[in-house]
Amino acid sequence: MAAQLIDGKAIAEQIRQELKAEVDVLKQKYGKAPGLAVVLVGERKDSQTYVRNKKKACDEVGIVSFGTDLPETASEEEVLQVVAAYNADPAVHGILVQLPLPRGIDEQRVLDAISIEKDVDGFHPLNIGRLAMRGRDPLFVPCTPKGCLELLKRSGVQLSGKKAAVVGRSNIVGMPAALLLQREDATVTVIHSRTPDAQRICAEADIIIAACGKAEMVGGDWIKPGAAVIDVGINAVDDPNAKRGYRLVGDVNFAEAAEKAAKITPVPGGVGPMTIAMLLRNCVDGAARSFE
Ligand code: GUN
């Protein structure tokens, strides 16, 4: 393997230490701790795991976590009432509604109801709109793409004047990742399912962020020698030799890409741990703004 590994687990741990110190200062100065409210609707196992991990991470850095679990059968109005109560609660500085919501609940209506001052996911259209505009700043940036940029910066990857390719255009990752790279003065191409010559475009990029949700789609011949590769994907593929009968792979073929890239994130242990670290970052920033 030629590439240097970008260790998301270690970088996320370092960020949590930094945040813990910041939270201690806030507590000393204002006598209050940052608070995060997590709303979970339904019984999806993956969402339950994410929510549990988010609350545990809050505890570790001294953020107070609040939680509301609603049943699968909860109505949209009930979810909106919970959001409204957290909007009005001065002990809560960040509100996260775990996605996806059960069918029948209008996700956009729920996300739009979160106060932009507490929108730690950065999904409110006002925050996304500001992210897209030159000379304007969002209050919060979505956690996963923010984590991707943090990994690049902390690994010493220069962004200004570079060519970047983002594979995938989701509201949660691809689109905001492209906006963030552009704000750092990279020249960005967004590749999606209808893009002709996706491989050629990618192979010209100095920086690749892969977030298309397709196991190992980005092969070695998609990588420019010396590129920095950030793999957001996490896909289970059948493997009879693996302990659980499957193994986790990214959207990048790691073995092939690592032969050509200069720097690359592993899966797992790359972007994943950074998403939660950035959520904590956003929550502390929101609290600090409200205390001042
Ligand atoms: N579901 C999957 N990713 C996310 C995320 O970043 N935020 C929320 N709220 N739900 C998610």
Instruction: Go through the domains of the chain in sequence order and give each one's CATH number.
Output: 29-124 (3.40.50.10860), 143-272 (3.40.50.720)
What digits encode the pLDDT tens for the residues 182-235?
999 999 999 999 999 999 999 999 999 999 999 999 999 999 999 999 999 999
Question: Is the entire prediction scored with pTM above 0.95?
Answer: yes
β-bridge pairing 207-210 and 163-167: parallel
Q: Which residues are catalytic?
A: 54, 98, 121
Q: What distances in angstroms separate CA 276 from CA 55, 126, 237, 254, 270, one per listed residue?
A: 10, 22, 24, 23, 12
**Is residue 271 within 6 Å of ligand 1 at its C-beta?**
no
Mind spelling out the 3-state secondary structure of 70-109?
ECCCCCHHHHHHHHHHHHHCCCCCEEEECCCCCCCCCHHH
Ligand 1 atom at minimum distance from 100 CA? 1
Q: What is the pLDDT of residues 36-63, one digit of tens each?
A: 999 999 999 999 999 999 999 999 999 9
Q: What is the pLDDT of residues 93-145, one digit of tens each?
A: 999 999 999 999 999 999 999 999 999 999 999 999 999 999 999 999 999 99
How many angstroms separate the first and last alpha carbons of the chain? Answer: 49
Ligand 1 center–CA 50 separation, angstroms: 8
Q: Is the CB of 99 under 6 A from ligand 1?
A: yes
How does pLDDT run across 81-105, given as a tens digit for each residue?
A: 999 999 999 999 999 999 999 999 9
Q: To test the ligand 1 pocket, which listed residue (121, 127, 148, 282) has its Cβ within 8 A of the most ligand atoms?
A: 121
Among 172, 232, 274, residue to substitute to test ligand 1 (most atoms within 8 Å of Cβ): 172
Q: How confident is the model at residue 155 (pLDDT cuts 50, 70, 90)?
A: very high
Ligand 1 pocket member 139 (CB < 6 A): no
For the four alpha carbons of 28, 30, 33 and 36, in that order, the dihedral sign comes to negative
**CA of residue 270 relative to chain centroid, distance:** 11
Here the tokens at position 279 are 């959520």
Contact between residue 257 and residue 223 where contact means Cβ atoms under 8 Å apart: yes
Burial class (CB in 10 A: 0-12, 13-18, 19+), 67: middle
Q: What is the ipTM of this complex?
A: 0.94
